[in-house]
A and B are shown apart, each in its own frame.
Chain A
Amino acid sequence: MTRILLALIAGGLFGAGLFISGMTDTSKVQGWLDVFGNWDPTLAFVMGGAIIPMAIAWILTNGRKPVVGGEFPSPPEPKLGRNLVLGSILFGIG
């Protein structure tokens, strides 16, 4: 039950953040990508704002366990691979 409640809260914060930041508006996302047109830097502020609490959270994982138990995600995989690049390019196009 705690898992579900925490997931709902996390999703709510994510949804509220996307909405308030303007990231549910495709013109703002395209504006960020439109470097040769009317460039809109808003997405950089969203990204910067999101990375701050998240970086603190990663630091806080040191020597702790998740609230509901279990383990934190393993350290990032260093291998890059073709799928990562190809997939990201496809995602960017979309």
Chain B
Amino acid sequence: MLNSIPTDWLYGLGGGLLIGLGGAVFLLGNGGIMGASGIVGGLVDGSGKSNMAERLAFLAGVFLLPVLLYPMFSDVDTHATTNIAVLIAAGLCVGVGTRLANGCTSGHGVCGISRLSLRGIVATVFYIMAGGLTVVLFRHLLGVI
């Protein structure tokens, strides 16, 4: 039966379980919500002064593991656009948007939906819809990405 499921989906499920396990460790261990934008945001805006080391350790793990795993996988690519203007605009939208909404996919999506938080569910519906419309506009109508 497993043979009929695309391997990408299985890797997605396996990777997803690891992400959720990370969130579980962060919650049950440190009593925190594993939201990537919040953890990074606190480093930048000064609100995370009291637990800088914890935030930096989390980020170190986030970057270190892909670096260690990279040689074991073939054909890995971010496929990120090389259009600097698009990258800057996208980065600004992600940064300002996640600070305004107080969360991104990990905080609102994973940690919020898993405890049936209305805010998490509403945020997720809106960012997926906005993302879908943006792909329609930029890929199918303008052909930028």
Contact = CB atoms under 8 A, between A and B. Distances in A.
Given A27-B79, A30-B139, A87 B98 contact: yes
A92 B36 contact: no
A77 B58 CA distance: 25
Given A41-B9, A87-B102, A76 B27 contact: no
A78 interface: yes
A-side interface size class: 35 or more
Contact of A66 (B30, B124, B140): B30
B101 A94 contact: no
Interface residues of B, number: 97
A12 B62 contact: yes
Contacts of A55: 114-115
B101 A34 contact: no
A42 B8 CA distance: 6
B23 A89 contact: no
Contacts of B122: 80, 84-85, 88
A50 B92 contact: no
Q: Chain B's interface: helix, strand, loop or mixed, by majority?
A: helix
Contact of A37 (B28, B53, B139): B139
A56 B102 CA distance: 23
B3 to A, nearest CB: 16
Interface of A: 2-28, 30, 33-37, 40-58, 60-61, 64-73, 76-80, 83-94
15 contacts: A4-B53, A5-B57, A7-B61, A12-B64, A14-B23, A17-B16, A19-B66, A22-B8, A36-B140, A60-B28, A72-B27, A72-B31, A79-B119, A84-B123, A91-B101
Given A4-B57, A10-B58, 15 more contacts: A12-B62, A13-B18, A13-B22, A18-B62, A49-B17, A50-B109, A53-B23, A54-B24, A67-B30, A68-B30, A76-B120, A85-B122, A89-B126, A92-B97, A93-B97
